[in-house]
Chains A and B, each alone.
Chain A
């Protein structure tokens, strides 16, 4: 397209009081030769917007450069269809954070004008990427409560669903329950099990195709076009799907590992799963002699919140024991249930259920540590408890003991299995002529289990160490999201949860699946860069097949062909640009974001012989809004730094540092997310990757006779915005003490 530029400068929000608008106009019209350059007292007002719209329709302007507030503000106002819009942040980065009307402040604003215009000049309108063929069927793996809820959600929204269940019946663990927890206000009394009616809804829905006693053999392809092989009826069936909901559920923690609580030694010590079966069959009787159990002790956190077993809380066990206490009481009004807990944890509205059960005179609760379960006379059990509210070490006599065991996600590979797999993988390595590496940890997602993806980075979803094998993305704002685009985890495979939570979770995940398919159909990215129509474009002619991009892509969106040449599976891509940063040949670029664009921006800055000039590359998701917030609080920072947003710090290409330093920039500060799993970055680990790349930079800088300290990486969380001014001041002070960049003279 023929580019026609228009530059619009806003004078409002202190901008005109801080810098000379004529100076900025001069940069646009004289230096950059932009014919249309206008200013307005309030550009976001209807009159201001009309000014721009008039030029678009009258003058044919299609590249609109708005020099006003942060691009994070007024984005609805400054949106013009068919135009490239570039925003220059004069308000937060100049007017609100700098001394007004000084020469240096004017120079800073002038530079932001130059950088913005250069960026616009290096941007092209995106052409969306479309899949040749698209299928909008949702594949749901797991026919338990979460999976059925997900299937019904998608089916009722008009989508076809394939529901694959491993067992011969639908319903999962819920189908084995006697009764269920209250599902609605007032959350007081247990209810009849409703899972059968859900099963009926699923089986009678014409949009849902159910595969019973079936498993996923293979999933190949991309969101919008998955080729799924289902092992069913002794054979293999092929199907197409557009997105996947993984609701493969959980298994109870193995009570055989709890001999200290009497399991195995005495048949009257049972698990909460066995308790459901007993209650379902009629009276509460105990296994040893069929005698009615009138005194039932529930031991909470049996193997949970225990570093030796499950270190986490499964969040359903307290509720289940309260529910089972209700069975005991319901079936015999003279029976008593003793609940021995670490802490009663009844999430959300279930506090009401806890209160209601607590009110029952026959439900006795105390905090305590169970120190042993021993056999008394006639098959009775003595439960020894210390640190109780009763004030002393006590022994409770019970007819039966129920262990409230926790949830293990089916995605978790137990340590023993992991060891077996390691042996197997080593054998494969040897067979291929390699050597087994005894120290290499085997990542669980490399072991085929549920999804069996044909992905370069492994068949399963990577799990966070902190999530104990649960497929929890832990992205605070994106709870069903996994690091495989188009695949969403729901229910207890994602997080331990109760039935009501699973129903909600399944529904939520199905909506994410639908969103993904729709976005793919329209050719734009899914979360978090929803509506982004750009995508990585690779100049394959220059690619050396070094495979750094395939290794570093957080989403396994880059595969390799037979010759080992990488190529993007575009609908798996989230447009983070980690590949752009990883590529030593600089062949991966976006329409609105490229290696060359950044270099041109650095070169386009005015670098005087005297005085410090620094560049700040900031993550657009956290560091950039943190700067905005600091400015909003009128924090001041050095006028020597020019901030430029990046999609992720993983975009950092070492070429940029070389380019910047070679034009005389004195240093570069990189502000990105914190390292590690606990800080949940949208793009997984861009900041860490950037740091890794910086390690390789040392040598280059040494060769150029430059101090490596000129480049600094800062880990910042968004709520640390108040620390930013000090961080920046310290950095500037450090650079001030160094000699100016010797390349300034060239």
Chain B
């Protein structure tokens, strides 16, 4: 056996996870039913049992460069089968939030964004900032005549304000991923691998929403997440076309090209995708509250709210514009701008940070060889010969309804 390691329990870390929504953390008694039923965990060193005990013991260094908490898609199969109500899915979500703090600088922003008490500040700050900037630009107010949103916020304004916001979010996220990647390599003793292949494989997986398909309890999340995901893709395409019109074709908004143009088609498809997807997510959470051990944390709901409002306000602003109701149309458009802005600047601090870290973790899992890169069927996991001696190996997942697999004798608690 390897040399003994000194563990340094950190009570504050435990309290932090509990405060972040992992209030059931301490209930876990390590039966490992969660690990047995989990369909996305690799066979080698599977999760989430070990993450549960590490968090109980406040071993925060164990989460430094830990890809596993991000491999979890929080489908909540584990929670549905947990005999003790320890809700591993929610706990892992809370741990993820704790680790976002490690990589998304400044860490204080993570705390502020995800603190319920700070909600007014988090929502009002971008609104005030935009209002001030619009006032400086001299367009803050309800313009006369036909409703044309560029009268309220010019395309130049949007480019000057929103592009840096998006760049800020993306840069923080990318820097975070860089550190995370380095930590993962150190923590897992991995020095090299097939980066390109891993990225392609991961991209395919994400595009196909492969992991979501494996879930039982949250099977319908496949559709809702897919809708939101491709809603954003469509919206991004619409934006790109807009940029093309303005910066390449030098047209100015409104593009008097009618509703059959690609920019409108993509924009509307995107909006509908986001609205329907978010609506499904919300209703699923309530429908399955019992199995999921609750409807989710503030961390979850903040993102649901921001994305939902982005989609809804954008779509409503369009309808109001067509209807020509200026006194409501402009404020609605303002709301839309505020939430798009929030989405951009909070990108690496809110739950949306998962697009960086989960992507990186999924990629690392292939890069490190824990999951095959070349294999067409990504459900097959290659375990090298050196893994044979690993004691922490996932039991046979064929019978997920038998929770006692890893429990010792029935009469004894572990």
Contacts and interface: CB of A to CB of B under 8 A. Distances in A.
Interface of A: 295, 334, 336, 338, 343-346, 351, 354-355, 358-367, 382, 384, 386, 389-397
Contact of B414 (A344, A346, A360, A394): A344
A343 B413 contact: yes
B30 A367 contact: yes
Interface in B12-55: 14-15, 18, 26-27, 29-30, 49-50, 53-54
7 contacts: A345-B412, A346-B413, A351-B413, A365-B56, A384-B4, A390-B53, A395-B5
Interface of B: 1-9, 11, 14-15, 18, 26-27, 29-30, 49-50, 53-54, 56-59, 391-392, 408-409, 412-414
B54 A358 contact: no
Contact of B7 (A334, A355, A361, A390): A390
A393 B4 contact: yes
A345 B411 CA distance: 9
Contacts of B26: 358-361, 363
B6 A397 contact: yes
**Which of A338, A351, A365 gathers the greatest number of chain B CB atoms within 10 Å?**
A365
B6 A394 contact: yes
A394 B4 contact: yes
Contacts of A338: 9
B9 A393 contact: no
B277 to A, nearest CB: 36
Contacts of B409: 343
Nearest to A363: B26
A394 B7 contact: yes
A113 to B, nearest CB: 51
Given A390-B59, A391-B50, A334 B11 contact: yes
A365 B56 CA distance: 8
B11 A395 contact: no
Nearest to B7: A394
A662 B15 CA distance: 86
Given A389-B30, A394-B6, A343 B412 contact: yes
Contact of A358 (B27, B49, B408): B27
Contacts of B14: 361-362
A361 B18 contact: yes
Given A359-B27, A364-B57, A389-B30, A344 B413 contact: yes
A336 B11 contact: yes
Contacts of A382: 6
Contacts of A343: 408-409, 412-414
Given A386-B1, A390-B54, 19 more contacts: A343-B414, A351-B413, A358-B27, A361-B18, A362-B11, A364-B57, A365-B56, A366-B53, A366-B57, A367-B30, A384-B4, A389-B49, A389-B50, A390-B57, A392-B1, A392-B2, A394-B4, A394-B6, A395-B7
B344 to A, nearest CB: 36
Give the one of A343, A346, A366, A390 with max B CB within 10 A.
A390
Nearest to B59: A390
A409 to B, nearest CB: 23
A345 B29 CA distance: 13
Give the interface centre of B3, B14, B56, B392 by most chain A CB atoms within 10 Å: B56
A336 B36 CA distance: 31
Contacts of A351: 413
A358 B29 contact: yes
Contact of A395 (B6, B50, B59, B408): B6
B320 to A, nearest CB: 50
A358 B414 CA distance: 12
A519 B17 CA distance: 64
Contacts of A389: 30, 49-50, 53, 414
A85 to B, nearest CB: 46
A364 B4 contact: no
